[in-house]
Structure 1
Amino acid sequence: MIDLTATLMPDGMADATFAILLATSFAGSLITVAFGIGGGALLLAVMATLVPPAALIPTHGVIQIGSNIGRAAVTFRHIYWPALPAFAAGSAIGAAIGGSVVVNLPPAWVQIGVGGFVMWSVLGKPPGAVRDWPFSVGVISSFLTMFFGATGLFVATFTKSQKLPRHAHVATHAALMTVQHGVKSLAFAVLGFCFASWAGFIAAMIAAGFLGTLFGKLVLNRMDERRFRIALNLMLIVLSLRLIYGGISD
């Protein structure tokens, strides 16, 4: 008899670790759909303690492709399409530049910078060129994601600035992040990362995330616009503080 769990887990991963990661993928997708942001950062934080460093950013990126495709699919009619072409072009440029940089940016400085920018976006008003323009947001966020992984917070500042209804915010953010993670994963494939050995694990994580998406949509449907905005701002602030604290600690 074939042990299905063993075929999904990478070599050396314990059953308990696999279960924790699946549960986190479910919870992360639920949180992102219900509150607009946060699931990708949560998943990255947990994976960072349980997945080998060399595989962390590439596998997280492909898992996020599946997760965001699921969110975009269940909210498809709400996507704000005019933002996508310029963002996609900017993402391709940002990932290409990031992939060609020989010396990595210090992760601590990236964390502090992204966290500070998002706090500024929630509590103040940063320059429109890095907040409202999909092309520049695509370039900057895709460059950073090659080193840092979860830059959904940065992209959320653009989506938030469009003042979209809650369903449109979730749908548009999911579509933008699908593009960004797709470009990033392609860049890692070109750089030589072997995704095949992680294929079963990635598929299981995507499936768990899609279940979380379905449950998260039920929460989103029951939430009014005012509560969604409050929840989104609180999530952005909490995650920003966590990034800044993590950067300072490092």
Structure 2
Amino acid sequence: MGVELLLMLFAFLTSILTAVMGLGGGLILIALMPGLLPPVAIIPVHAATQLVSNTSRALFAWRDIRWEFMLAFVIGSLAGGLLAAKIATLLNLEYLPLLIAAFILFNVWGRGITFNNSPKGEFLTIGFVQTGMGMLSGTTGPLAQSTLVRKGLERDAIVATSAVFMSISHLIKLALFGFIGFSFAEYWAVMLAMIAAVIAGTWVGTRLRHRVPNEAFRLALKWLLTLLAVRIIVQTLW
């Protein structure tokens, strides 16, 4: 199976997962990409794919979006993205997958990045951390979702609102990667294939959302992500 077809399949399946659970698909997708794309292309191509995945998920559930949190999130995202873009130019990209693997393991087995209490300007802070870390590790997991859960939002509102947050983060990341010199034109075919796959996966997953039990799925997801992170480490070092 060619690289484009394999990545297209991965994008379709992980988009279904995210549409059903509200999280997890982006982490699995980026964990599968090392070895299939050059290290320098992993995060930008992932960002392009996840922008469409999250935007389509938000559009399919637009009535549930909570817009009152967006302005602060955008301001924080711009600041965090600009700082991380400067840092990204100083990194040895050959070892970038190790940062992705470390973040996955931290997110799965640690407490993740959460705010137990609402900090001042909580969504500005979340935007700063989520987009800044996303520039370096590709994805930041359920950072905003923990705050939305604490606010007592229903499942559909959490999924739809966090999808808008992630869309904003990925859009800013794409603009900044273009600004620092990444050539998206070299990867147009694989991005187009993955974008088509995530739209289809989101459509399927949105219709499956209320039919899938959460707990067994989350346990399987935890171990799958762990195995994928170990795979990344082995591939990068050996």
With the shorter chain as reference, the TM-score category is: 0.7 to 0.9
CA deviations 1:74-132 (Å, max 9, x no partner) are 0111111122111111110000000112533986567546754665658x975425799
* Structure 1 residues 53 and 186: CA distance shift in structure 2, 3 A: same
Distance 1:244 1:47 in 2: 11
Could you tell me which residue of structure 2 aligns to residue 94 of structure 1? 80
- How far residue 158 of structure 1 moved from its aligned partner, in angstroms, is 3.1
1:180 to 151, 169, 179: 169
The question of whether the paired residues in 1 share the 8 Å contact of 2:99 and 2:137 is answered with: no
* Structure 1 residues 174 and 239: CA distance shift in structure 2, 3 A: farther
Please state if 1:216 is matched with 2:205: yes
- How far residue 137 of structure 1 moved from its aligned partner, in angstroms, is 1.0
Please state if 1:103 is matched with 2:86: no
Could you tell me which residue of structure 2 aligns to residue 3 of structure 1? none
Show structure 2 runs of 5+ residues with no match: none
Supply the AA of the counterpart residue of 1:91: S
The question of whether the paired residues in 1 share the 8 Å contact of 2:54 and 2:167 is answered with: yes
Could you tell me which residue of structure 2 aligns to residue 157 of structure 1? 146
Distance 1:156 1:247 in 2: 26
TM-score of the pair, normalised by structure 2: 0.82
Supply the AA of the counterpart residue of 1:135: L
Show structure 1 runs of 5+ residues with no match: 1-14
- How far residue 159 of structure 1 moved from its aligned partner, in angstroms, is 3.4
Could you tell me which residue of structure 2 aligns to residue 194 of structure 1? 183
The question of whether the paired residues in 2 share the 8 Å contact of 1:62 and 1:181 is answered with: yes
Count of residues in Structure 1 that have an aligned counterpart in Structure 2: 231
- How far residue 240 of structure 1 moved from its aligned partner, in angstroms, is 7.3
Judge which range, 149-158 or 231-240, deviates more.
231-240
2:60 to 45, 55, 74: 74
Please state if 1:205 is matched with 2:191: no
Please state if 1:35 is matched with 2:24: no
RMSD, aligned CA: 3.2
Could you tell me which residue of structure 1 aligns to residue 45 of structure 2? 59
TM-score of the pair, normalised by structure 1: 0.78
Could you tell me which residue of structure 2 aligns to residue 47 of structure 1? 33
Judge which range, 77-86 or 174-183, deviates more.
77-86
Distance 2:8 2:66 in 1: 30
- How far residue 72 of structure 1 moved from its aligned partner, in angstroms, is 0.6
* Structure 1 residues 234 and 159: CA distance shift in structure 2, 3 A: farther
The question of whether the paired residues in 2 share the 8 Å contact of 1:160 and 1:169 is answered with: yes
Distance 1:29 1:183 in 2: 21
Could you tell me which residue of structure 2 aligns to residue 141 of structure 1? 130
- How far residue 182 of structure 1 moved from its aligned partner, in angstroms, is 0.4
Could you tell me which residue of structure 2 aligns to residue 12 of structure 1? none
CA deviations 1:211-236 (Å, max 9, x no partner) are 1111101111335xxx44x4686478
Could you tell me which residue of structure 2 aligns to residue 6 of structure 1? none
* Structure 1 residues 222 and 244: CA distance shift in structure 2, 3 A: closer
